[in-house]
Amino acid sequence: MNRVETLFWKNDRLFVLDQTRLPVEMVYVTCESYRDAAEVIRTMKVRGAPAIGAVAAFGLVLGALETGGDRETFLSGLELIAGELLGTRPTAVNLRWALERILSKAADTPGDAADLRRVLLAEAVAILREDVEANRRIGAYGNELVPDPARILTHCNAGALATAGYGTALGVVRAAREAGKRVKVFADETRPFMQGARLTTWELMCEGVEVVLLADSVAGYLMAQKDVDLVVVGADRVAANGDVANKIGTYGLAVLARAHGIPFYVAAPLSTIDPRTASGREIPIEERDPGELTHFCGRPIAPEGVSVWNPAFDVTPNALITALITDAGVLKPPFEESLRRVLGGGQEV
């Protein structure tokens, strides 16, 4: 099967694969306005940090098509729309990164609204293309860390579905396979939204990758059996000191990996690094609907009225991370320094 397209642009419309309906059916949602784009992010029809960023970029292009007036009116209209898109999900920094990139392109481009619309669309298309290129580089660097054969544990979905294509953590898996290595993936189910069960297994099975679905609570036992060579996950935001926000449960995996002497890698593009956030303590953590825990497939699985805490992400302290696999190379601790070097344009190998 051809690799799945997470999103694409056609005839002034954005088409987004509805991930809430996977793995049962493949249905694309059409976004005709920036509000549609905001809605697909908010409702997690699209999810995964780079994919959210790309949808936000095209959302702003849709907003540009809906906005007129002279240059000043047009630019201030865009700022308001960007603010609405930014409010959809708080943790993944790629959202802010993509919106700021489009806004600054608009500010730096001379011309009227019609000129700017053309340039903004080209910029959104570039974001999409560059994300795939970044993921391929992440894959190539990450492959160097993968033994043959390899048993790889991952959490959530950091694959083609979470990006513009190829994936970050699953990009490492893909690159290792392309290099001819024998790879077996263990996919945590990833309660409560089930990205691992619904998406990672589906994405890998479509390409014939050997994958085993695990309840989240199995990871420690699996590691104790010495059945895991490495853990690789994605990231929603990497702070300046290398602390990583990623899907809830990632921190527990990192602690387990350390206890069992297993390397713990985080794969992320530079667009996920946030130099403006000093440490993980400052990363805003999204809390989602209690219904994700009290109900399963629409049926109650907890007593009515029970108190619920449902953070969607956690923070893994930099000390538990063996290396950050980025599109500018494999970063080793101390991350504060290696991150500063790559953000300054350097390359780490």
Using the rule CB under 6 A, which residue among 131, 188, 189, 236 binds ligand MRU? Answer: 236
- Minimum CB distance to ligand MRU, residue 132 (Å): 12
C-beta neighbour count of 222 within 10 angstroms: 18
Containing H/E element for 161?
none
Catalytic residue among 236, 243, 314, 327: 236
The secondary structure element, H or E, covering residue 152 is: strand 150-154
Q: Is 78 in the site for ligand MRU (CB under 6 A)?
A: no
CB atoms near residue 24 (< 10 Å): 9
Q: Which stretch binds ligand MRU (CB under 6 A): 7-15, 48-56, 61-69, 73-81?
A: 48-56
At residue 253's C-alpha, the angle toward residues 155 and 169, to 5°, is: 35
Q: Which one of residues 195, 200, 294, 326 is an interface residue with ligand MRU (CB under 6 A)?
A: 195
Strands 244-247 and 237-239: antiparallel
Parallel, antiparallel or unpaired: strands 13-17 and 7-10: antiparallel
Closer residue to ligand MRU, CB minimum distance, 50 or 242? 50
Q: Amino acid identity of 344? A: G
Per CB under 6 A, 316 contacts ligand MRU: no
Three-class SS state of 218: helix
Cα separation, 199 vs 4, whole angstroms: 11
223 binds ligand MRU (CB under 6 A): no
One of 29, 31, 48, 189 touching ligand MRU (CB under 6 A): 48
192 binding ligand MRU? (CB under 6 A)? no
- Per CB under 6 A, the list member of 7, 55, 152, 162 interacting with ligand MRU is 162
For residue 348, the 8-state DSSP code is: B
User: 187: which strand partners?
Assistant: 154, 213
Given 54, 61, 81, 92, the residue binding ligand MRU (CB under 6 A): 92
SS3 label, residue 73: helix
Question: Which lies closer to ligand MRU via its Cβ, residue 74 or residue 202?
Answer: 202
Residue 231 CB, nearest approach to ligand MRU (Å): 12
Give yes or no: 115 in active site. no
Which residues of this protein are in contact with ligand MRU, per CB under 6 A?
47-50, 92, 156, 158, 162-163, 168, 195, 233-236, 246-247, 312
**Catalytic sites, residue numbers:** 236
